[in-house]
Chain A
C-alpha cells in the first residue's frame, strides 16, 4: 500500500513537473544559453558511446536475422528486415536504455546532489525558481540531446548492419537495395516519434528523481537507482504503447507497417 502511494505520488510529480516546464517554456522563460551548455555537458560527451553502441546493435540485428532467414533461403530480405526491426523497435529501445544510464544517471545524480546540499533551497531563498533556473534548461538539454543522439544512433545502426552484412557474406549493395522494399516512410516516422518520446521520458524522469532526492548521499544513491529503474520501465511501456498505436493506425488507415 505504501509503495503504491509512493508510486502514484511520483508519477503525479513527474507529470506536474513536465507541465510546469511546458508552461515556463511557453512563457519564454527558457534560458537557451544554459540549454546549449547542458547539451554539451550531457549530449556531446555521450556521442562516442552512442556511435559505438549503434554500430554493434546494427551488427547484432543483421547477424540474428541472417540466422533466421538462412533457414528459409530468404537472405535477400536481410537488409530490409534487419533495418526495419532496428529502426522500429530494437534500435530506439536499446539506445534509449544506454542514454538513460549515462545521461539520466548523470542528471539525476547532479540534481540530487544539488538538492541534498541545499543548493536548490539557496536558489529559492535568493529569489529564483529552481525549476526555471536549474530544471528547465536540463529538461530541454536532455530532450534535445537524447533525441539527436537517438537519431544519430539509429543511422549508425543501419551502417553497422551494412558493414556486418559484408562480414557474413551478404553483398552490401544488395543489403542496401533491399532496405526500401520493407522500410517505409512510416517506419522512419515511428522511429523518430519513439526517439522523441524516449528523450522526453529520460529528461522528465531523471530531473524529477534528482529534484525529489532527500536524505544525504544515501538519498542521492536511491534517487539514481530509482531513476534507472523508472526509465527502463517507462521506455518499455511507451515502446509497447507506441507500437500498438502504430498497429492501430495500420489497421485503420492502411499505412505501411510490417
Chain B
C-alpha cells in the first residue's frame, strides 16, 4: 500500500500541494486527475523520492520515503516503477539495451542469457514489434517509444506502477491500446497502479478509484460511478469536457 499523509509542497512562493492525504490500496488502480500544472506529476516524484516534500510523509509498502537516506530510498525505488510523461529512453542505447537496463542495474537476472527472453516477454506484453529490438529510440514513433518505456518499467517487476500522463501525445487509437494495456496489467499482474492524468475518458474506463486535485487540495475521492454524479465544480467541468468532446 502507498500512504500519502499530509503532504505539502511549494516551489518558491507557489504552493502546489496543500496538506494532501490519500492511500493506494493493494491491487487498486487509482487515477489522480486535475488540470495541467496542478502538481500531479510532483506527487509521483515525491512518492519515488525524486524530490522532497516540505511537510508530511509518504510510505511505500510500509517503508518511509526518505530522500536523505539513499539506502532506504533505493529499497523504496526497487518496489516502484515510474513511467514518465515523455518516454525518457536513453538516446544512445537500443530498444533492447533500454529494456534490459533495469534488469542489469538491479542484478535481477543472474544468467545474462536470460535477459533476452525477459526483454522479449516485456515487448510482447506491451504489444511492441520485436523487430524494433536493435533500433534506437529516435528511429521509433512516439507511441512505440512510450511502449518501450513501459516495457522497461515492467521488466523490473515493480510492486507499484506509477504512470505520469500516459496518454499525452497519443492518438485515440494508441490511447485505447494503452487503456487496454492498463486493464491487462491489472488483470494479469494485479499490481497497485497510480495513474496521473487529465484524461477523464481513460480514467473512467480503467480506474477503480479517482482522486481529483484542485488548487493543491483533494476535492473528490471516490469510485468512477460516484464521480459521474458528483457536484464538485471541477468534476462537472471534467465531465462536461468529455461531453463537449463527443
Q: Which residues of A contact B (CB under 8 A)?
A: 113-114, 117-119, 121-128, 133
Contact = CB atoms under 8 A, between A and B. Distances in A.
Given A127-B102, A128-B101, A121 B156 contact: no
B88 interface: yes
A117 B145 CA distance: 13
A127 B90 contact: no
B91 A114 contact: yes
Contacts of B48: 125
B86 interface: yes
Given A122-B82, A127-B102, 14 more contacts: A113-B91, A118-B88, A119-B88, A119-B89, A119-B90, A122-B84, A122-B152, A123-B101, A123-B105, A124-B50, A125-B80, A125-B82, A126-B106, A127-B106
B39 interface: no
16 contacts: A113-B91, A114-B91, A117-B86, A117-B88, A119-B88, A119-B89, A121-B50, A121-B88, A122-B82, A122-B88, A123-B105, A125-B80, A126-B101, A127-B77, A127-B78, A127-B105
Nearest to A38: B92
Interface of B: 48, 50, 74, 77-78, 80-82, 84, 86, 88-91, 101-102, 105-106, 149, 152, 156
A124 B88 contact: no
Contacts of A126: 101-102, 105-106, 152, 156
A198 B50 CA distance: 34
Contacts of A133: 105
A145 B156 CA distance: 36
Contacts of A128: 101, 105
A121 B84 contact: yes
What's the dominant secondary structure at chain A's contact region? Answer: helix
A119 B91 contact: yes
Nearest to B155: A126
Contacts of B84: 118, 121-122
A123 B149 CA distance: 12
Nearest to B45: A121
A127 B89 CA distance: 15
B219 to A, nearest CB: 28
Contacts of A125: 48, 50, 77, 80-82
Nearest to B89: A119
B66 to A, nearest CB: 15
A220 to B, nearest CB: 13
A128 B105 CA distance: 6
A124 B77 contact: yes
B208 to A, nearest CB: 24
Most chain A beta carbons < 10 A, residue from B77, B78, B88, B152: B88
A121 B80 CA distance: 13
A123 B48 CA distance: 13
B93 to A, nearest CB: 10
Contacts of A113: 91
A224 to B, nearest CB: 17
Contacts of B106: 126-127
B172 to A, nearest CB: 25
A114 B81 CA distance: 19
- Kindly list the 9 A-B residue pairs having the minimum CB-CB distance in the complex, ordered from nearest: A126-B102, A128-B105, A127-B106, A118-B88, A122-B88, A127-B105, A118-B84, A119-B88, A126-B105
B84 to A, nearest CB: 5
Most chain B beta carbons < 10 A, residue from A113, A122, A128, A133: A122
Contacts of A117: 86, 88
A81 B218 CA distance: 76
A119 B86 CA distance: 10
A118 B145 CA distance: 14
Contacts of B81: 125
Contacts of B91: 113-114, 119
Most chain B beta carbons < 10 A, residue from A122, A126, A127, A133: A126
A117 B87 CA distance: 8
Contacts of A123: 90, 101, 105
Contacts of A114: 90-91
Contacts of A124: 50, 77
A118 B77 CA distance: 16
A210 to B, nearest CB: 13
A124 B70 CA distance: 11
A119 B101 CA distance: 12
A151 B80 CA distance: 48
A128 B149 CA distance: 16
Nearest to A132: B105
